[in-house]
Structure 1
């Protein structure tokens, strides 16, 4: 569920570009596609022709096609309102409720017999919405949520808003997704990018996606029309459960370098002055770490204790304070200053990993 891209028929891309995007994304492990079938600027004559061919190939790849729907969408597709079987026959697996449906209708659709999943608008939900929805006993196991993207500059939501909405959704076990923009071809008509967070406007895909995963989103979609192959690679390289930190190496020691290649969990008894890896000493096996680069330590430094620290040998930490040198502790790397902001998300039990620059 981790990666998705977007396609908009009858707008910026040719049919061939959309098909090639689908093929490239499929090869890289993308499993979800977002599309909207009610974009005012789209050429609907072109859209009608392209939709069915694209959907057929996506269905062949067993990809999850998510379509924004409203009563107008069914009309456009020559289907009866709420005809979920008709959507399934086209290849749609998830419908995102955009507007035009009551909480009762959403609940009814969540219990459909056609295997269609229901997706809520994560950016606009409220506690009051769920209080009403709960009255109709929806099937929450068949519901997830996707935040909006925001074409107009300065209208994207804040991180605080996203975290607040996500908490409401996760209280009900609902998985949450969000958008980052592409910097390759931005979607018409604004062409200012389609991120969820305003902080991510004009930010590269990997950095923005890593941030979204760090704050607890379960899936990231590239919102714009035609992401580059490199942007697809960058997103697919991320692990949604692991905060990736870019580091500069300060060691050529094989043992310590190998330790930096692992994924770690922050200890649940979090220290005041450092993020402590739960697993590093266990991974050391029978190796010995000699003392080297035992210099004064700074915020963001990555350290590994050497044999002088006895049973703590192999202890890996990311420092949250400046500390004096200690002959028992080697400074093996430093987190890039641009990634310092990610450290606050590595809370108790959170996984983290390193990307050597």
Structure 2
């Protein structure tokens, strides 16, 4: 089950602003908060007083709270892998390790008596399988990717996929970051260029970022890296269907009602025996055996990647089938052009191409 989350940085804001933001996010069903101790005051008494109050407010609103740490933070707070008392006192649900201890200590921290889950850096080559073999408690281990404040520094899709293949094989809950497009948002550092995991997400609308994360089918929790997202963004993010892939189509002018029903009226399942030319949803055909879909004129001699097609009366046996073009095909008059996958969503098509049997909806 996917969870949605926000990031809050108390050291760069005020308790009043943070509380208002948390209340707004809670209203839209958000349930995770990421925060950072790397850039916070390392005075234990200040942390207990100010950070503890922040965590208490978050819990009262139904959030679980993860804090980014490293060995230097532990040392400053008088903590250690075998002594998480101060983190328990603060009420933290999750400790994210931006940097590691040695193997023995990384094993022991997962077996802390407080039930604090340990979140390992997903944007790394950490050998977590080895930790499990040497006694780490898999049930207490989760994954969270990095975010990247510097423009052009975010993960490529290929690197993201490589990391996620490893985490998926371990069966651990995995989180990643998307980015608000609001101006003057911030994170733990004085860089203001968004905070995504994937570089391709940095400038996209937030709902498109979330749809892509869902389509990847390997990310469980989706967190906004920078603060503060707008209420419109929180609402848009919360409106994304999280149970299956959704992909946005820009409809062709003149699209018929029968075509609209075939495209928008079904949860589609791509065929596992699909060709290299298109993702193929055959189920709508069952409802169009006796229903006409007249051929519509189209001046494109060929259909190109991202075109959404509906088979028409000229190929009656397949009438109603919905196809999303992957590789250029001839326009032979047997398919109507219903629309085009939106530019923001074309990389979702890349994910669908990797696994043609995606369950998806066209929106």
Q: TM-score, normalised by structure 2?
A: 0.84
Which whole-Å CA distance do the structure 2 matches of 1:83 and 1:249 have between them? 62
Query: Which residue of structure 1 lines up, in the alignment, with residue 357 of structure 2?
Result: 349
Matched, 1:306 2:312: yes
Cα distance, 1:294 vs structure 2: 4.8
Q: Does 1:68 align with 2:68?
A: yes
Which residue in the other structure is 2:276 paired with?
272
Deviations 1:266-289 (Å, cap 9, x if unpaired)? Answer: 21112221111253335x378723
Query: Quick one: which of 239, 242, 245 aligns to 2:241?
Result: 239
Name stretches of at least 5 consecutive residues in structure 2 with no aligned partner. Answer: none
Report the more deviating stretch, 44-53 or 194-203: 44-53
1:46-57 matched pairs, under 5 angstroms? 49-57=49-57
Deviation readout 1:113-149 (Å, 9 max, x if unpaired): 54322211001234xx235313313232332211111
Alpha-carbon RMSD across the aligned residues, in angstroms, is 3.0
Cα distance change, pair 85–273 in 1 and its aligned pair in 2 (3 A): same
Counterparts in 2 of 1:253 and 1:95: CA distance versus 1, 3 Å: same
2:214 aligned partner: 213
SS of alignment partner, residue 22 of structure 1: helix
CA contact (8 A) 2:248 2:362 kept: yes
Cα distance between partner residues in 1 of 2:225 and 2:43:
19
Cα deviations by residue, 1:189-231 (Å, 9 ceiling, x for unpaired): 1222222223333333233333333334232211112111122
Q: Structure 2 vs 1, CA of residues 280 and 60 (structure 1 numbering), >3 Å: closer, same or farther?
A: farther
Count how many residue pairs are aligned between Structure 1 and Structure 2: 351
- Cα-to-partner distance string for 1:160-181 (whole Å, 9 max, x where unaligned): 2211111111111123221122
Q: Does the 8 Å CA contact 1:281/1:312 hold for their aligned counterparts? A: yes
In the other structure, the counterpart of 1:203 is 204
Q: Is the 8 A contact 2:288 2:320 kept in 1?
A: no
1:226 to 225, 228, 235: 228
**TM-score, normalised relative to structure 1:** 0.85
Counterpart CA distance in 2 for 1:87 and 1:130 is 23
Taking the TM superposition and a 5 Å limit, the aligned residue runs for 1:36-51 are 36-39=36-39, 49-51=49-51
Pick closer, same or farther for the CA change 1:276–1:62 going to 2, 3 Å: same
Aligned partner (choices 236, 257, 260) of residue 257 of structure 1: 260
CA contact under 8 A between 1:294 and 1:325: conserved in structure 2? Answer: no
Secondary structure at 1:157 match in 2: coil
| CA separation of 1:332 and 1:55: change in aligned 2, threshold 3 A | same
- The question of whether the paired residues in 2 share the 8 Å contact of 1:10 and 1:47 is answered with no
Contact preservation (8 Å) 1:120, 1:146: yes
